[in-house]
Structure 1
Amino acid sequence: MSETSATRRGRGRRPAAEVRTAVLAAAGRILLRDGMRAVTFDRVATEAGASKMTLYKWWPSPGALAAEAYFAQSRDALDFPDTGDLRADLITQISAFVRLLKDGGAEKPVSELIGAAQMDPDLAQAWSESYALPRRELARTRLRSAQRQGQLRDDADLDIIVDQLWGACYHRMLVLKAPFDESIVVRLVDHALYGAAPRGA
């Protein structure tokens, strides 16, 4: 490599995709470590080594940045398996979700994000578009696969199943403020798949 080439690479601007990845990673770390209020453009720009003006250009508010950062931070942890066994895959995925909330430090910032979204339209849109709808579609894709394999009825309401499973966790966390852990996951999945009626009814 020539000296001129090396100099240009060392002093040139980083590609936009690289900067965006660094910003989301920094915002995600701050969010999970210190909560939503700590996610400011000043602090994230400093930690990511980015221009604050760049953040203003890409996100309408720190809350919108925090919502997208949470999705980026949680993507690998909440990967949805498809082993062919729907019950096992649901247990694996929802257990990972509960672990992220309880052991991964996400419960408080997620509660803050959802609460703030009720009063902040930019954050509400970012949370929906950057996290809630993509994660919901991942679940629906897995459930549709199960339908094709005959593991769910053809007329099963996939949105209701998603609401039953993940909605139960959000309800306990946000509304009841009730403690929960991975011990509820198998019961959640079995009730969603098999119902609560007596066997044979």
Structure 2
Amino acid sequence: MERGRTATEGSGAERTAARQHHGNRHGRSERARQAVLEAADGLLVEKGFTGVTIEGIASSAGVAKQTIYRWWSTKTDILLDAFLQDATEALTPPDHGDLTEDLGAHLHQLALFLTRSDAGTVFTALLGHAQHDPAFAGVLRARYLDEQRRRDRLPLDNAVRRGELPADLDTVAEVDQLVGPIYHRVLVTGDPVDRAFTDLLVDNFLRRHRVR
């Protein structure tokens, strides 16, 4: 301790310095983490699932492999976290207070996300990997599919709350009929999933439930 400075003053300054150092370190860590997630996305689109390696991700992100292994064990773990972050940001439905507008916007956004974004490419790759890895299939279902079904139900749940839809509506079954055709076209047939198609899904739903 320096002469003339009290213990209270010294410890306060040290605490301030410690907080600043911790904040900077945390900031660098978060930037590195985001760089890894973005690098994994980009490499998968460029090289395909088998072409993505931890070494390649580290090089593209400008970090050491040891940095990656602090957070993830495999490239699949990295790709899943990257996809989940993108899905949370892009696939949380809007709430404009109107079922037709909310449902139309959400289904269109889901279609765009799956067909035109890097995240959609990652999702397709992860589904393919899940076919050969039952343990990962369970993780994917628990971390994405279950949560996404909850998000997909939000426009219906909000409409039930507002009285636009009946309180006893089976929203789980209904949302499967709304989003199921989108996934079927994306993953099975390859047919277009344009705005006309998603609007048709909404129109059919509204007519079925006599919603004006």
Which TM bucket (shorter chain)?
Answer: 0.7 to 0.9
CA displacement at 1:68 relative to structure 2: 1.9
Judge conservation of contact 1:67–1:126 (CA < 8 Å) in 2.
no
Which amino acid is 1:88 matched to?
E
Which amino acid is 2:162 matched to?
Q
For 2:5, the equivalent position in structure 1 comes to none
Which has the larger Rg? 2
Query: Does 1:151 pair with 2:164?
Result: yes
Tell me the TM-score normalized by structure 1.
0.77
Q: Which has the higher contact order (CA 8 A, sep 6+)?
A: 1
For 1:39, the equivalent position in structure 2 comes to 52
Any idea what the Cα deviations from partners look like across 1:107-154, whole Å, max 9, x if unmatched? 544322212112124532442344322222222333222211112211
For 1:58, the equivalent position in structure 2 comes to 71
Query: Does 1:70 pair with 2:83?
Result: yes
C-alpha RMSD over aligned residues = 3.0
Judge conservation of contact 2:93–2:154 (CA < 8 Å) in 1.
no
Which amino acid is 2:202 matched to?
V
Judge conservation of contact 1:118–1:124 (CA < 8 Å) in 2.
yes
Query: Does 1:117 pair with 2:143?
Result: no
Query: Does 1:98 pair with 2:111?
Result: yes
Query: Does 1:171 pair with 2:199?
Result: no
* Percent of residue pairs identical: 34
1:187 to 187, 195, 200: 200
CA displacement at 1:12 relative to structure 2: 6.2
For 1:29, the equivalent position in structure 2 comes to 42
Cα 1:12/1:169, change in 2 over 3 Å:
closer
Aligned residue pairs total 191
Tell me the TM-score normalized by structure 2.
0.74
- In the alignment, the residues of structure 2 paired with residue 182 and residue 105 of structure 1 have an alpha-carbon distance, to the nearest angstrom, of 20
Cα 1:94/1:179, change in 2 over 3 Å:
same
Any idea what the Cα deviations from partners look like across 1:4-32, whole Å, max 9, x if unmatched? 99xx79x9686544432332222223334
Any idea what the Cα deviations from partners look like across 1:32-71, whole Å, max 9, x if unmatched? 4443333321111222233323433433421232122122
Judge conservation of contact 1:39–1:66 (CA < 8 Å) in 2.
no
In structure 1, runs of 5+ residues without a counterpart are none
CA displacement at 1:173 relative to structure 2: 2.1
- In the alignment, the residues of structure 1 paired with residue 175 and residue 46 of structure 2 have an alpha-carbon distance, to the nearest angstrom, of 29
- In the alignment, the residues of structure 2 paired with residue 87 and residue 144 of structure 1 have an alpha-carbon distance, to the nearest angstrom, of 13
CA displacement at 1:184 relative to structure 2: 0.4
Any idea what the Cα deviations from partners look like across 1:143-197, whole Å, max 9, x if unmatched? 222211112211111111221122111112223343432220111112234329x
Cα 1:121/1:20, change in 2 over 3 Å:
farther
